[in-house]
Amino acid sequence: MAKKDLVSIGSKSFEDLRKINEHGAEYWSAREIQPLLGYTQWRRFEDAIKRALTSCKQSGNTPKNHFAGSGKMVDLGSGSVREVPDYNLSRFACYLIAQNGDPRKPEIANAQKYFAVQARRQEISDAIAADIERLELRKQTAEEFKALSGAARDAGVHDRMFGVFHDAGYKGMYGGLGRDAIKKHKKIPEKENLMDRMDTTELAANQFRMTQTRDKLTRERVKDQPTAIKTHENVGKEVRDAIKRIGGIMPEELPPAEHIKLVEKRIKRVSPKLELEDKDAKGLIGRSEEK
């Protein structure tokens, strides 16, 4: 499976921000990864860190091995500096922060998918890693669907027209096919949720369609129902055109994937590695205690 990384800050990625401490253990500065995870306010980011600390303890691991309070000097301008609170974080701590962050932030959603795969990478097969990626993406599309519905309501779409609004996006992206027509075309049972039968590629394309529509409705301050519906359809068409330009398979021609519930059951049979061992459990202190 190809290596994937979190969204970069300029030329710096999550892995680029990794440091090594005096114990030879890798760590990250909370202040440095804060913007990578979509937080502009330290106060809100620190709330996510505190939730992660609680999760660390509940998982049977020692918080001090993964979260170390520290200070960071920041430039205030005119040559003056001051110290602000910071944390040195192990990789496991970064994973827990992503899991406890705001899922509405695309950066957090991306981080959750990244760490969900990375956290188990050495104990599972590539097939299960792919299952985890698909399941995380399915959860994200469910959250994005809710967020888009909220944006549609703000843009003037009445509740009784939500079906028409969401169908407009499908029609734009699937060459005129609405949700029910797509299911019929792909021979998906009528009672099944269409997104539960999408593979990773199709889910990612639909997530992009929804996020772009939500942003466009907000950015252009759409406040009437017909315009909101047309906007969703047009964004769907733009996504379709992009797929066509890069030579991708048209979404309606992608075969239905295995139902997501079967994928979830298969993942559950692989026990998550929350009780870390050896070097991973020691986190920031490495193997120094063994000496």
The CA-CA-CA angle for residues 86, 34, 101, to 5°, reads: 110
Which pLDDT value is given to residue 81? 67
What confidence tens digit (pLDDT) does each residue in 231-241 have? 999 999 999 99
54 C-beta neighbours (distance < 10 Å), count: 12
Which pLDDT value is given to residue 275? 54
Domain ranges of the chain: 15-123+273-286, 128-268
How many angstroms separate the most distant Cα atoms in the chain? 70
- Please tell me the number of Cα atoms within 13 Å of 62 on its side-chain side: 12
Q: Greater confidence, 191 or 12?
A: 191
**Cα(55)–Cα(51) distance, rounded to whole angstroms?**
6
Q: In what order do the strands lie in the sheet with 19-20?
A: 19-20, 26-29, 80-89, 67-77
**Cα(194)–Cα(256) distance, rounded to whole angstroms?**
9
% of the chain exceeding 70 in pLDDT: 82
Q: Which of 42-56, 127-141, 159-173, 213-227 has the lowest mean pLDDT?
A: 127-141
**Cα(110)–Cα(98) distance, rounded to whole angstroms?**
9
- Tell me: pLDDT of 227 over 70: yes
The pTM of the full predicted model, rounded to 2 decimals, is 0.59
Confidence label for 101 from pLDDT (cuts 50, 70 and 90): confident
- Please tell me the number of Cα atoms within 13 Å of 241 on its side-chain side: 7
**Averaged pLDDT score across all residues of the chain:** 85
